[in-house]
Structure 1
Amino acid sequence: MADFHQNGVVATLHNLRERSLERMEKELTVFSASRPITLILPSLYSELEAPALEHIVSELSQAPYISEIVIGLDQASEEQFRSAKHYFSRLPQKHTILWHDGPRLRAVDEKLKAEDLSPDQPGKGRNVWFCMGYVLAARQAGVVALHDCDIVTYSRDMLARLVYPVANPRFPYVFSKGYYPRIADRSLNGRVTRLLVTPILLSLEKVMGHHPYIDYLKAFRYPLAGEFAMQTQILSDIRIPSDWGLEIGVLSEMWRNYSTQSICQVDIADAYDHKHQPLSPEDAAKGLSRMSIDITKALYRKLATDGVVFSQDAFRTLKATYYRTALDLVETYYHDARMNGLTTDRHREEQAVELFAANLIEAGQVYLDNPNATPFMPSWNRVQSALPDLLRDIQEAVRLDAED
Structure 2
Amino acid sequence: MSDFYQNGIIANFHNLSDRTVEALETELIGFSRKRKMGLILPSLFSELEGTALTSIIDALARVPYLEEIVIGLDRADRDQFLHAREFFSRLPQHHRILWHDGPRLKAIDVELGKKGLSPTKAGKGRNVWFCAGYTLASDRTLAVALHDCDIVTYERGMLARLLYPVVHPRFSYEFCKGFYARVANGKMNGRVVRLLVGPLLRSLEHVFGQSDYLDYLNSFRYLLSGEFAMRTRVMHDMKIPGDWGLEIGLLSEIYRNYSPNHICQVEIADHYDHKHQPLAEEDGSGGLNRMSNDIIQSLYRKLATMGVNLTSDSFRVLKATYYRNALDILDFYHHDAIMNGLTFDQHSEEAAVELFMQCILDAGQAFIERPNDKPFIPSWSRVQSAFPDIMQHIYDAVEEDNKGHDV
Counterpart residue type for residue 110 of structure 2:
E
Distance 1:3 1:108 in 2: 48
Return the offset for 1:287.
0.6
CA deviation digits over 1:154-181, x for unaligned, max 9? 0000000000000111111110000001
Counterpart residue type for residue 295 of structure 1:
I
Q: Could you tell me which residue of structure 2 aligns to residue 32 of structure 1?
A: 32
Q: Could you tell me which residue of structure 2 aligns to residue 92 of structure 1?
A: 92
Contact 2:8 2:218 in 1 (8 A): no
Pairing of 1:336-347 with structure 2 (within 5 A): 336-347=336-347
Q: Could you tell me which residue of structure 2 aligns to residue 81 of structure 1?
A: 81
1:13 aligns with 2:13: yes
Q: Could you tell me which residue of structure 2 aligns to residue 305 of structure 1?
A: 305
Contact 1:239 1:378 in 2 (8 A): yes
The CA RMSD over aligned residues, in Å, is: 0.9
Distance 2:200 2:95 in 1: 40
Contact 2:43 2:149 in 1 (8 A): yes
Return the offset for 1:17.
2.2
Distance 1:175 1:283 in 2: 38
What TM-score results when the alignment is normalised by the length of structure 2?
0.98
Give every structure 1 segment of 4 or more consecutive aligned residues whose post-TM-superposition deviation is greater than 6 Å: none
Specify the SS of the correspondent of 2:120. Answer: coil
Pairing of 1:217-236 with structure 2 (within 5 A): 217-236=217-236
Counterpart residue type for residue 160 of structure 1:
A
Contact 1:284 1:290 in 2 (8 A): no
Return the offset for 1:281.
6.5
Contact 1:3 1:14 in 2 (8 A): yes
What TM-score results when the alignment is normalised by the length of structure 1?
0.99
| Structure 1 gap segments, 5+ residues each | none
Pairing of 1:5-404 with structure 2 (within 5 A): 5-280=5-280, 283=283, 285-403=285-403, 404=405
Counterpart residue type for residue 192 of structure 2:
V
Distance 1:99 1:390 in 2: 17
Q: 77-86 or 25-34: which moved more?
A: 25-34
CA deviation digits over 1:195-220, x for unaligned, max 9? 11001001001111101101000010
Specify the SS of the correspondent of 2:236. Answer: coil
Specify the SS of the correspondent of 1:279. Answer: coil
CA deviation digits over 1:64-103, x for unaligned, max 9? 0011110000000100000000000111111100000000
Return the offset for 1:8.
3.6
Return the offset for 1:18.
4.5
Return the offset for 1:371.
1.4
| Structure 2 gap segments, 5+ residues each | none
Aligned residues: 404
Counterpart residue type for residue 7 of structure 1:
N
Specify the SS of the correspondent of 1:144. Answer: strand
